[in-house]
A and B are shown apart, each in its own frame.
Chain A
Amino acid sequence: MAWLVVRLAISVSLLYTASAVFEDQVGKFDWRQQFIGKVRFALFDTHSQASKKLLVATDKNVFASLNSRTGDLFWRHVDNTGPEGHIDALLMYGQDAVVVVGNGRLLRSWETTVGGLKWETVLDTGSFQAAALVGVQDHVKYVAVLKKSAISLHDLSSGSQIWVENLPDSDSVQYQTIYSGGDGLVFVFGVVPNSHIVIVEYKIEDGEIMNKKSVEAAWMSSLESSCTVISSGILLCVDQITQSLYTLLLQSAEQTEMRQIHLQTLDLEVASGFQPVLTSAQPNPAQPPLSEFFLQLSPDHHILLQLKDGLIVPLRDFNPSYLAAFATSGERTVAAVMSPKNDTACSINLFSADTGRRHLDTTIIYHMDPNGGKPNRLYVHAFLKKDDSVGYRVMVQTEDLTLTFLQQPGRVVWMREEALADVVTMEMVDLPFTGTQAELEGEFGKKAAIQDGLLPMVLKRLSSQFILLQAWLAHLWKLFYDARKPRSSVKNEVSIDTLSRDEFNLQKMMVMVTASGKLFGIDSKSGTILWKQYLENIQPNSVFKLIVQRTTAHFPHPPQCTLLIKNKDTGIGNLYVFNPIFGKKSQISVPALPRPVLQTLLLPVIDQDYAKVLLLIDDQYKVTAFPSTKNVLQQLQDTASSIFFYLVDTSQGKLSGFRLRKDLSTELIWEVVIPTEVQKIVAVKGKRANEHVHSQGRVMGDRSVLYKYLNPNLLAVITESTDTHQERSFVGIFLIDGVTGRIVHEAVQRKARGPVHFVHSENWVVYVYWNSKFRRNEFSVLELFEGAELYNSTVFSSLDRPHPPQVLQQSYIFPAPISTLEATLTEKGITSRHLLVGLPSGNILSLPKMFLDPRRPEVVSEQSREENLIPYAPEMPIREEWFINYNQTVSRVRGIHTAPSGLESTCLVVAYGLDIYQTRVFPSKQFDVLKDDYDYVLISSVLFGLFFATMISKRLAEVKLLNRAWR
């Protein structure tokens, strides 16, 4: 018996060991793109002239180094999500980059060449305010960190704390900024809003307070946004209300109030409602900053000013100008200013900081993407050329999170689409046919057939066949031509014009929607971005739903995707209709949605242009149809009594079902209320509409059939208990029929807690929960069967299926945490299913559904062996060969999208999170594809050999027969 178990286990394990990728297959049909997110800090390594490093810290808590020549990542560190890993400040000096992480929790120093951690110090508690490098006698030795109530000084080479001092009166004074000019002192600036400024002077050696003074400033509310230090220790502030600049000499004892300089005296005025911004430059932390500074007066007006002998002199007025930044190379500091040139382009020019004079031949033309956003950040890398003039490159960040790196005279060196670091939802759309294929399709179009007679149809047929022949010959010629060329020179450039469906429909268009409101069309084969479209005015808390209304199958009608953008708070939505292949906005008129949208429903009903009908249900349970042509409304009227939909109100725990009426109003037909005092609904999932189930049942060991309960209207509702005590908490699973509201199954997983990830497909639900008693992740699988005979084998109707299904359930221990869960999907559903499990480690595990089968027997019997059931083992195995992305880990995987291809064996997989990874999986191996190393020579020689052998033996037999006849 035991032997059998072992043997079976071995044979099963052997079956699956070969599912990994071979070494030579790496990168053949998979690709990964790594992203960083929205850049918050970017510093160029100016340490050496040849350095290519660009250090960035982003809002995704990523600290990375980019190659400024190519835009590739040198290295990347992904910290924890949320405030714990938030990067507060990034400072760089020489080879060291100092980072403050987690609201002043940690101070880290990184070696910038390889990205190794040099040291890390845990800082005292307190919310972070500012950090600065502190230099003494032209050498930067320390880093000062200002917290809400304390200041600490750390050694730059070791991280050890030199001293920490409490700030005086920290409960009443808000300390906000810090300054050091390399003269042995650290200044801390605090403010009591609308009263006065407090300036505390610390000695670097021991943290002794050298001086403390308070200066009257009744107009000031915040230091951070309106003040800066310029020249040799002069605090400069700007105020919008009084339209004035204020200066204060830091180290003079006699000046007790700030000197006011009216902007009017300089002929300047701040635009109303605009908070003016001061920008100064301190090229070396061990030396005082420059006496020149930028003052931004309105969103597109900057002015370069200079403080000279206590007087402020305008050097150059930049009107209009979008962005301005200082940059230093060696001893020279320059200012780069971006000004609009025309509607589609901006010009960036370089000016010397001390005079405001324009450097000759330094213009960079920046072409704005018409489908993108406006530039909002400018980072300048200045360097000295051989002839001692200053050259520069710029990195522009736009509203749609595109990073563009430009060099003179406007050449785009590289571009990064950082919006892709936050993909919200996606779809995969088939590519269109080529012109010839489309021609053939058009010929068989319904409209054509009705219009034309018999003879034109024949002619049309012949002509299209001829075109096909021509295309085939051209293809052959190209193959022959390419074969003669060396392999490296043959390039498969993908562009939007050459896009066409391949033989097995393995190449698709990935339509990705990102949180910033930028849409992308990406070629699934190569990962090339083929189109992008930035939707402006997207609220940051929007919810997106992407719906494919018309696929590419209906030539000459273009494919059509609809994006529902919904404000999370108000629920008000609007529709954006576009062509998923070219990314162009469709001209179709979109219904206005004045009321909050509760639910959307894509019907299989199609209009005369083959677009599926989308129903939108608002908060008064009124239905809007899109498209709403006469034809559609007629069809809806005819089928209204069989259109049902459900709504979920998680705040009241209410699930309700509605039926459509002929006048597009709705009626409530069922209601299920799960009391919120006990448990709350966390997720509701139906089945995927494009899912096919090939086999109706499972053949058992005794040759009888166990029929699956395949209810397409079934909803899986997951609840979590409000009681979070580890003994009493539970996870509830409800299987509810979406048409009748009948609770098909109701189960409670005791001592369990969320987050719950689950997949609902075919006749099964797989969910993952946290076992709070044993502190581990567990998988549970529910399978529904009708039993040994079907109630009605021809059609399934929720209204006519009186017998409840048999429910089988089994649970397993999963020895790893889980980020996301998805199931593979194939064209016809013949291929066995795998579950794709996204792990926080970045791996994607392809787990055979066979292991998640509630019929796995405890005790092996003859029949279970016949059925190929694996004996039950409580722990789910994780094998490294099952990681479909080998070492190409996907950071912070948030979702996995699966799509069928034209090959039944193949399923396309896209995992997205911080990175995007695309690959193909073969759950039942490539049973419909010949292997790469298939021996064509052998099989053809055998065939030919056999053929000739038969010919010869036939001839011989004939001769023999003849001879016998003569005898």
Chain B
Amino acid sequence: MATIRVLSLILSVLSGVTLLWTQSGECNNGRRSGDAVDTDFSGFSVPLEHSFEVDDVPRFRLRGALQFRGGRENGVYLSQNQLSEKERSTLKDVAAVDGLYRIRVPRVSLQVDRQTERQSEGYLTTFVRACSLVESHLSDFITLHTDVSGSIIGISIVTVPGSCRGIEVEDEVDLEVFNTTISVVAPVTAPPPETAPYIERMEQEMEKKGKNPQEQKSFFAKYWMYIVPLVLFLMMSGAQDQSGGGAGGGAANGGGR
């Protein structure tokens, strides 16, 4: 009984709080630029491109490759290159003029059975302020959003911390490698009206009422042991007054009413 209740409680909490369901978040950071990108995956890979220019005209270059493992568990793995000396200085310059750091991925479907039609034209782009990327020491969170059929519909990037305070950054140490957390988010299923647990709960309450004989009894059945003596006492006292007569009895009678 108790375990069922606890279970239903957990269930209700789970259904009530629809947390963002994120999938695995592996990443690879310290990869040398000379290393070849792994290709021996059963899944497929998608290029992740970025652009940061002082004149703010996007010119996308390869940042890394997103590796998707096939199967039901859509694991995602990002292998990315280091920033070169020149890129680091450009990024700092862009940050100084409050420019944008943009990334993009092509529109693909993550569903394996739809590999043939996987590639559709166009890209999904997003941006973050270059200064916040610099100040966070290239630690960013990239999230890929898919629709119900598994196609990527949007990409988002945030840095932690996300603010721009104008802190000076040592480029050699902090701007070499990305510290990226990547995840794929699929839509959550919105809860329908929960009739079944409600009815169950109602039934449980009814049952509990049924099991507890105290509650089922009527008022009189519950308290007869107090009522009967009281009534008897009143009757007795009334009878005594009747027999005794006199003014005191009358007063008692009045009080009894």
> Which A residues contact B (CB, under 8 angstroms)?
1-2, 5, 641, 667-675, 677-679, 730, 732-733, 736, 740-743, 745-751, 771, 778, 780, 782, 792, 799-802, 804, 806-813, 854-855, 857-859, 872-875
Contact = CB atoms under 8 A, between A and B. Distances in A.
Nearest to B149: A678
Interface string B194-218: 1101100100010011000000000
Given A675-B153, A746-B187, A855-B16, A802 B194 contact: no
Contacts of A746: 145, 147, 185-188
A858 B197 contact: yes
B191 A675 contact: no
B124 A854 contact: no
A670 B160 contact: no
B147 to A, nearest CB: 6
A742 B156 contact: yes
A328 to B, nearest CB: 63
Instruction: Please provide the 10 A-B residue pairs with the shortest distance between their CB atoms, ordered closest to farther.
Output: A858-B12, A742-B156, A672-B154, A800-B162, A802-B158, A874-B193, A746-B187, A749-B190, A802-B162, A747-B190
A2 B8 CA distance: 17
Nearest to B185: A746
B137 interface: no
Contacts of A873: 198
Interface string B90-108: 0000000010101000010
A813 B124 contact: no
Nearest to A800: B162
Interface string B144-159: 0101110101101011
Contacts of A740: 126-128, 156
B18 interface: yes
A818 to B, nearest CB: 15
Nearest to A807: B18
Contacts of B209: 2
A473 to B, nearest CB: 59
Interface in B61-116: 98, 100, 102, 107
A44 B107 CA distance: 66
A1 B193 CA distance: 23
B161 interface: yes
Given A2-B209, A802-B158, 15 more contacts: A669-B125, A670-B126, A670-B127, A671-B126, A673-B153, A678-B149, A678-B151, A730-B148, A741-B126, A746-B187, A808-B18, A854-B16, A858-B9, A858-B194, A859-B8
A670 B143 CA distance: 14
A743 B154 contact: yes
Contacts of B147: 674-675, 678-679, 732, 746
Given A732-B187, A748-B188, A873-B198, A807 B127 contact: no
B44 interface: no
A641 B160 CA distance: 22
A667 B57 CA distance: 9
B24 to A, nearest CB: 17
A813 B208 CA distance: 27
Contacts of B9: 858-859
Nearest to A875: B193
B126 A733 contact: no
B190 A799 contact: no
B42 interface: no
Interface string B2-22: 000000110010001111100
A802 B141 contact: yes
Contacts of B162: 799-802
A747 B56 contact: no
B193 A809 contact: no
A810 B98 CA distance: 41
Given A748-B148, A780-B190, A810-B16, A673 B107 contact: yes
Contacts of B191: 780, 809-811
A807 B198 contact: no
Q: Is the contact region of chain B dominated by helix, strand, or loop, or is it mixed?
A: mixed
A960 B48 CA distance: 95
B33 interface: no
Contacts of A674: 147, 153
Contacts of B185: 743, 746
Contacts of B158: 742, 801-802
> Taking each of B154, B159, B191, B205, which has the highest tally of chain A beta carbons within 10 Å of its own beta carbon?
B154
B205 A2 contact: yes
B256 interface: no
A376 to B, nearest CB: 51
Contacts of B192: 749-751, 771, 778, 811
B163 interface: yes
B50 interface: no
A9 B190 CA distance: 27
25 contacts: A1-B208, A671-B126, A673-B107, A673-B124, A675-B149, A678-B151, A679-B147, A740-B156, A742-B154, A743-B185, A746-B186, A749-B189, A750-B189, A778-B192, A801-B158, A801-B162, A808-B16, A808-B18, A810-B191, A811-B190, A811-B194, A858-B9, A858-B198, A859-B9, A874-B195
Contacts of A672: 124, 145, 153-154
B122 interface: yes
A778 B193 CA distance: 8
Most buried by A among B20, B98, B190: B190
A750 B56 CA distance: 42
Contacts of B205: 1-2, 5
B156 A872 contact: no
B39 interface: no
A858 B16 contact: yes
B16 A675 contact: no
Given A673-B107, A743-B154, A874-B194, A802 B148 contact: no
B132 interface: yes
Nearest to B160: A802
Contacts of A812: 193
A875 B194 CA distance: 9
Contact of A800 (B56, B122, B163): B163
A500 B19 CA distance: 52
A156 B147 CA distance: 61
A77 to B, nearest CB: 36
Contacts of A859: 8-9, 12, 201
Contacts of A806: 17, 19
Query: Quick one: which of B141, B151, B191 has the most chain A CB within 10 A?
Result: B191
B124 A671 contact: yes
Given A674-B147, A675-B120, A802 B159 contact: yes
A230 B8 CA distance: 83
A857 B8 CA distance: 12
A638 to B, nearest CB: 14
A641 B163 CA distance: 16
Nearest to B146: A746
A679 B187 CA distance: 13
B8 to A, nearest CB: 7
Nearest to B200: A858
A780 B191 CA distance: 8
A675 B127 CA distance: 21
A878 to B, nearest CB: 15
A813 B193 contact: yes
Contacts of B161: 800, 802
B36 to A, nearest CB: 31
B230 to A, nearest CB: 26
Contacts of B17: 806, 808
A541 to B, nearest CB: 31
A872 B196 CA distance: 12
B20, B127, B188, B192 interface centre (most CB from chain A within 10 Å) = B192
Contacts of A810: 16, 191
A747 B198 contact: no
A673 B149 CA distance: 13
A163 to B, nearest CB: 55
A745 B17 CA distance: 13
Nearest to B125: A671
A847 to B, nearest CB: 15
